Homo-oligomer: A and B are copies of this chain.
């Protein structure tokens, strides 16, 4: 790890902010002792909290922000009036080169809108995407877009594939990740025109990318591929469907165990095993949705997260900074531009 990682943190974003942000810094310091943090938020409150967490204080600098973006604020409104908010100022620190990345547990729509406005997209990327990690039977899967773009064309999907593949290599350490496009069937003839065109582009033009073809909803849990590409509407529904199904299953399981005395005894004996299951599906382990395609690292932590989840999101940001994520995306895009076109016959 480089010595100079500095991250800007939106200390006022999230249901349990700013407390969980400070506690998160204390946790993350154990894993990344050399990282430093700029904390944007209410100076008085942050000072009080840091006084209680000297370990966090040692690696933090407070930057006062008079405003905070509320969870239900419209992105367009934040763009007009949010310049003095902790979120905006934290993003601005990345644009100014004071920090290499920003982490916020605040309003997702506002974070995307302001990041796009302040940081701009990487040359060659039309639209940024939100990427996240999903648990699967084979380990973990990257999926994008999770909600930044409700309407996507084929080129957007191709760009998501390139960015998702680089993200997967860095964050999961998979050397040659397989990439699939989410569709309603795995046959080539199914789907809407965007996925069909993206399929044929990826099949013919990107031979350095390990393209699997189409995958279906069942493949998310099965872990058939390492990276799943989809539009932001479908991706967001899939993300929340996984969440809702897991919750339903947990509740059914709980009710089953409380159904008889024997089952209750069985539950007590099985508890360590069930805790293992709980840990495996712990949403905090999968916290940290990354905004890919911007000139700067922006990581969104779940709004309802605690300090441990926030620390994981900060860890993802540090990984991306240290591995020069954006430079790698630019390299991939340069490869793409160099792709040989159909050979031309010289005119004699």
- Residue of B232, B247, B266, B274 near A222 (CB, 8 A) is B247
Q: Decide if A128 is an interface residue (CB 8 Å cutoff).
A: no
Q: Decide if A333 is an interface residue (CB 8 Å cutoff).
A: no
Q: Give the complex CA separation of A257 and B252 in angstroms.
A: 17
Q: Mark A147-164, 1 if CB is under 8 A from B, else 0.
A: 100110000000000000
Across the interface, which residues of B come within 8 angstroms of A150, CB to CB? 184, 190-192
A270 touches B263 (CB 8 A): yes
State how many angstroms separate the Cβ of A148 from the closest Cβ of chain B. Answer: 10
Asked if A189 meets B243 with Cβ closer than 8 Å, knowing A184-B237, A237-B182, A238-B217, the reply is: no
Q: Give the complex CA separation of A7 and B251 in angstroms.
A: 39
B267 touches A270 (CB 8 A): yes
A136 touches B232 (CB 8 A): no
Most B CB within 10 A of own CB, among A137, A230, A239: A137
Q: Mark A191-230, 1 if CB is under 8 A from B, else 0.
A: 1100000000000000000000000111111100000001
State how many angstroms separate the Cβ of A151 from the closest Cβ of chain B. Answer: 6
Most B CB within 10 A of own CB, among A151, A221, A248: A248
Asked if A260 meets B243 with Cβ closer than 8 Å, knowing A192-B233, A237-B237, A253-B253, the reply is: no
B256 touches A273 (CB 8 A): yes
A236 — nearest CB in chain B belongs to which residue? B184
Chain A binding surface, main DSSP class? helix
State how many angstroms separate the Cβ of A70 from the closest Cβ of chain B. Answer: 13
The number of times this chain is found in the oligomer is 2
Q: Give the complex CA separation of A117 and B190 in angstroms.
A: 20
Q: Give the complex CA separation of A150 and B193 in angstroms.
A: 10
A249 touches B147 (CB 8 A): no
State how many angstroms separate the Cβ of A303 from the closest Cβ of chain B. Answer: 13
B184 touches A251 (CB 8 A): no
B252 touches A262 (CB 8 A): no
17 examples of A-B residue contacts, CB within 8 angstroms: A137-B248, A150-B191, A150-B192, A182-B237, A217-B239, A218-B241, A219-B244, A221-B246, A221-B248, A241-B242, A256-B270, A256-B280, A262-B273, A266-B266, A266-B267, A266-B268, A266-B270
